[in-house]
Amino acid sequence: MRKHCTASHQLGPSAWQPQALGRPRRGCLSTVDPVVRLAALRLKVTHPTWGPAVIRDELQQRASTRARRLPHPSQLAAYFQQFGSRLVQPQRHLRLPPAVTAVPDSDAGLVYQLDMQERLWLPQLGYFNVLNIRAPRWGITVGSYPHPAGMQRWNHKVNIAEAREDCRATFEQWGLPEVLQTDPDTLLVGVGNYPFPSLFVLWLIGLGVVHRLIARVIQNGSVERSHRTFDKQMLCGVETADWPTFLKHVAAEQVRLNERIPSRARACQGLPPLVAHPEARVPRRPYRRDQEDGLFEMQRVYAYLAGGRWLRHVTDVGQLKLAEHLWTVGKRFAGQTVVITFAPTCHEFVISTEAGQELKRIAATWLTETAIRGLPEPESC
């Protein structure tokens, strides 16, 4: 009787059904319902880059399998392994040099890492770019935003307006970070030596978010690894014929990764990110689009620019370029290097010689809150 009770606890009502004669079934998933086994195999064939934890979660979402006993991810892994290279592609496990360390964020508050994937392609949608944002403290992908970039050939990168709107969507759900960390992408930080900060950077500064540049790619390791996750999770086996459906698919997969799939991130300790860090659901620094007027402060921008020092070479016709604006200082300074600083009290750019002699002042009339925030210009009467 004890044997039957134990079997009932382990197998449920099926333990009381008549058992087949002969030797017990053996092998991977031999005791699992054939419906579950076949569904798992079909999922793996359709989505070869999905891992066993993702496939088990998908089985839990389907009406045909959710009520049946599901195998552990390790059992699924062993089952797929027996098919060899037809289902499982072995990958090298690379270890990073111990001397390379990430940018410390213990004293910087909440840090988001932002990076972009470019030139991705799906037959139904053409080329597209993806802007990814990660919060390493929680091990959470707080944003994945695809943007079309051409049907026949790749035409363009993510622009500042798209990056700004993607960040707004992330901030509304997860809150403002203390630091947004990126690589020196020309979209984000400008080009050339001594670049003038982009409107995107000035927008962050106005919101009270510090923009921090990394020196090495490994310092943004969390978001860099998320690119591979996006490829394996969002693009494998997708059959969407239009952008709205694809965006819904990406959002659903992001929820799956954050809420249900055990994470290998150090911050999660093998748990799903939002199970390990439920505090992430409540923003520490709330943000809403319709309240940005009260959150954004131009004084922060002026104070930030006051610490800047930009070197420029005067051309043969006495001109120089700063922030895509062409300024004239006079032919007598042709060939010289000048220093540009910002006077926060009068909102003017001061052009001086390297010795400190002031040459000219130019009002920063183009540097407005409307331009920085990407708002429509007010109509003139």
Average pLDDT, the chain: 84
Lowest mean pLDDT among 47-56, 196-205, 216-225, 360-369: 47-56
Quote the CA–CA distance of 250 and 108 in Å, as a whole number. Answer: 30
Q: What is the pLDDT of residues 200-222, one digit of tens each?
A: 999 999 999 999 998 888 889 99
Whole-number pLDDT of residue 203 = 96
How many Å apart are CA 308 and CA 368, to the nearest integer?
A: 18
CA distance 157 to 119: 9
The reply to whether domains 111-178+215-281 and 297-373 share a CATH topology is no
103-138 pLDDT, tens per residue?
444 455 899 999 999 999 998 899 999 999 999 999
Res. 101: pLDDT tops 70: no
Q: What is the rounded distance in angstroms from the CA atom of residue 58 to the CA atom of residue 102? A: 34
Strands (E), the chain: 111-122, 126-135, 140-148, 179-182, 210-213, 310-313, 319-322, 325-328, 337-343, 348-353, 358-363
Structure tokens at 60: 């839990």
**Token output for 199:** 């409107």
Which CATH superfamily hosts domain 111-178+215-281?
A: Ribonuclease H-like superfamily/Ribonuclease H (3.30.420.10)
Instruction: Please calculate the CA angle 88-90-95 and round it to the nearest 5 degrees.
Output: 145
φ and ψ of 268, to 5 deg: -100, -20
CATH topology of domain 297-373: OB fold (Dihydrolipoamide Acetyltransferase, E2P) (2.40.50)
Mean pLDDT computed over 335-339: 90
Each residue of 22-38: pLDDT tens digit? 555 566 777 888 888 88
Rounded Cα gap, residues 337 and 352, in angstroms: 9
pLDDT of residue 378: 66
Confidence at residue 100, expressed as pLDDT on a 0 to 100 scale = 34
Identify any residues that bridge with 111 across adjacent strands, giving them in sequence order. Answer: 179
Q: What is the dihedral of CA 227, 70, 61, 241, to 10 degrees?
A: 50
pTM across the whole model: 0.79
Q: How much of the chain exceeds pLDDT 90, in percent?
A: 42
DSSP strand E in 123-273: where?
A: 126-135, 140-148, 179-182, 210-213
Domain ranges within the chain, ordered by starting residue: 29-85, 111-178+215-281, 297-373
Residue 19: band (very low, low, confident or very high) from pLDDT cuts 50, 70, 90: low
If one compares 28 and 226, the residue with the highest pLDDT of the two is 226
What is the band of 96 on the pLDDT scale with cuts at 50, 70, 90? very low
